Structure 1
Amino acid sequence: MPTPQPVRVFIGSGEASLLERKTLIHSLRKHTRRPLDLYVFNGTHNAIEHNDEAPVLANLPLWIKYRNFTEFSNYRWLIPEICGYEGRAIFLDSDMVCLADIGELFDADMGGCAMLAKAEAYKGASAWGMSNVLFDCSQCRFPLEEIFRQIDAGLYSNTDFHQMTPRFLEHHPYRLGPLDPAWNSFDRFEQGTRLIHYTNLRTQPWKFPGHVHEDLWFRSFEDARKAGVISAQDVDKTLSRGYARQDILDPVRGSVAGSGGGRRKRSFKQFRRSVLQALGLRKHAA
């Protein structure tokens, strides 16, 4: 039997998202028997980390890096070039958990499209959600310097580019098709969800209590720790830099951001106490 083609996955990340990135990577590996060819865009260092190889500098002009919405926004457009404009590749944001075989997405029928992405991702806008993209690299070339000069000239906006709106596509007519929505479920989990994306920055479980599906993320995080994918050093470094909630190893569950009485107040008090304890300031807690 021939060896299956490796599933080529690129993850957008940075030093601040180390824990969620490694949680995602473990979830990808856990649910597939296919070999994975993993690339991490580390926007903090303008670097690409490929499997277990030493990091290399990304071929992204500094003035374009500075136009990122996040640390890694513009790196996804390098993917076809990195792949030699051949084959397929998947791009994922780091704030996701995969719940199914990523090989199924990699092998999806693209119907001749250059990219599959989340259709009508944002209310009131004809826009694509590009946080999970399946690329046909042979059909995708992104002349970034030209694109950003056109942005500066007012032909379209950076948002138009990153959401592939009609205004952008008038100038660069890439053909996009709809990704199965189960592969990019914004903050929701239901029967059939293949990948959940924690998009609400105020309730991302590794930062704050209150996400309705926080338990799902913490189970994935603990799986990654037990498997040795996330080390004690990873956790210590993340906490010392303030990139995650200080009680992440023993998290307070439940909403502190919603409305309503005693439970919310007790949850907040418990959360505050745990944070102060972790910082060695417990004696000052009220």
Structure 2
Amino acid sequence: DDQPYLAPMSLRVKYRNTTEFSLYRYLIPQLCNYQGKAIYIDSDTICFTDIGELLDTPLNGCDFLAKRAYSSEAKDLWGLSVMLIDCQKCNFDLETYYDEIEQGLYSYPDLARMSPAFLAHHNYQIGELDPLWNVFDYYDKDTNLIHYTNLYTQPWKYTNHPYGDLWFQYFNEARDCGYITQTDIDLSLVRSYVRRDLLEGNFSTMAREIASLKRAIKSVKKTSWF
């Protein structure tokens, strides 16, 4: 295996973001020596389709592809949680971005979503990614990738996500094959990355009891003569 690579990122940049990994996507072209194509995918996702198909998606002259994900006051905002990048064209200069944020030219959310305020200073040509490669908190048979993007409903942190059983299916498969160990889980608990009743699955004990009670009441109502 290759030795760990020291990320070319200052501390002021590393720790001023939503999650600790948020800004690492911008280092990809540099790590690829500004050559070829590269894929970035957030870690809070499950991919159901061969990402080779994503890599083969034509860039059509764009600097990168991303999901046209948000709309705010008729402004185009982009979901950068899945990106297909032309490494030769993209030089994401984080130090300059943070200088400009401190100067008040735009905000961190503008950078995170490549808003018009940010693009007015950095005119990246962004192409629209097939939205099935970045589906927010939803799944059906056509979904290529589900992104558990809401930080307040992610199934490893909170119970009762409508598609949490899907996450736990793959979590348990990873445990069964040894990819995730008990040591990994214990460390995640210590760091508060996951909820303490993680091993109970998508539904907490109380939620299961409530669901069982509701089923019992429903059954009684069906058989009642009153």
Sort the TM-score into its range (normalised by shorter chain). Answer: 0.7 to 0.9
**Closer, same or farther in 2 for the Cα pair 1:155/1:265, shift >3 Å?**
farther
Q: Is the 8 A contact 1:114 1:136 kept in 2?
A: yes
How does the TM-score come out when normalised to structure 1? 0.69
**1:190 Cα deviation after fit:** 1.4
Report the structure number with the largest CA radius of gyration: 2
Match of 2:46 in 1: 97
Q: Which of the residues 185, 190, 194 maps onto 1:244?
A: 194
Write the deviation string for residues 170-202 of structure 1: whole angstroms up to 9, x where unpaired.
111110011110000000101210000011222
Q: Is the 8 A contact 2:165 2:201 kept in 1?
A: no
1:142-161 → structure 2 map (5 Å cutoff): 142-161=92-111
**Closer, same or farther in 2 for the Cα pair 1:266/1:129, shift >3 Å?**
farther
Q: Which of the residues 8, 14, 21 maps onto 1:65?
A: 14
In structure 2, the residue corresponding to 1:159 is in which secondary structure? helix
Match of 1:217 in 2: 167
State the distance in 2 between where 1:244 and 1:105 align: 30
Match of 1:263 in 2: 210
Match of 2:62 in 1: 113
Between 142-151 and 78-87, the greater mean CA deviation after superposition: 142-151
In the alignment, is residue 204 of structure 1 matched against residue 154 of structure 2? yes
1:135-174 → structure 2 map (5 Å cutoff): 135-174=85-124
In structure 1, the residue corresponding to 2:123 is in which secondary structure? coil
Q: Is the 8 A contact 1:118 1:179 kept in 2?
A: yes
Q: Which of the residues 63, 68, 76 maps onto 1:126?
A: 76
**1:160 Cα deviation after fit:** 1.1
Match of 1:28 in 2: none
Match of 2:142 in 1: 192
Question: What is the aligned-residue identity percentage?
Answer: 48
Structure 2's unaligned 5+ residue stretches are: 215-226
Q: Is the 8 A contact 2:67 2:134 kept in 1?
A: yes
**1:239 Cα deviation after fit:** 2.1
**1:121 Cα deviation after fit:** 2.8
State the distance in 1 between where 2:93 and 2:122 align: 10
How does the TM-score come out when normalised to structure 2? 0.86
Paired residue type of 1:77? Y
Between 64-73 and 172-181, the greater mean CA deviation after superposition: 64-73
Between the two proteins, the alignment pairs up a number of residues equal to 212
**1:263 Cα deviation after fit:** 3.2
State the distance in 1 between where 2:168 and 2:202 align: 11
In structure 2, the residue corresponding to 1:127 is in which secondary structure? strand
Q: Is the 8 A contact 1:238 1:244 kept in 2?
A: yes
State the distance in 1 between where 2:153 and 2:100 align: 36
In the alignment, is residue 226 of structure 1 matched against residue 173 of structure 2? no
In structure 2, the residue corresponding to 1:138 is in which secondary structure? coil
**1:123 Cα deviation after fit:** 5.0
Match of 1:86 in 2: 35
Q: Is the 8 A contact 1:122 1:129 kept in 2?
A: no
State the distance in 2 between where 1:241 and 1:161 align: 28
Q: Is the 8 A contact 1:208 1:245 kept in 2?
A: yes
**1:132 Cα deviation after fit:** 0.7
State the distance in 1 between where 2:116 and 2:64 align: 15
Match of 1:53 in 2: 2
Structure 1's unaligned 5+ residue stretches are: 1-51, 268-286
RMSD over aligned Cα atoms: 2.3
**1:252 Cα deviation after fit:** 5.2
Q: Is the 8 A contact 1:110 1:177 kept in 2?
A: yes
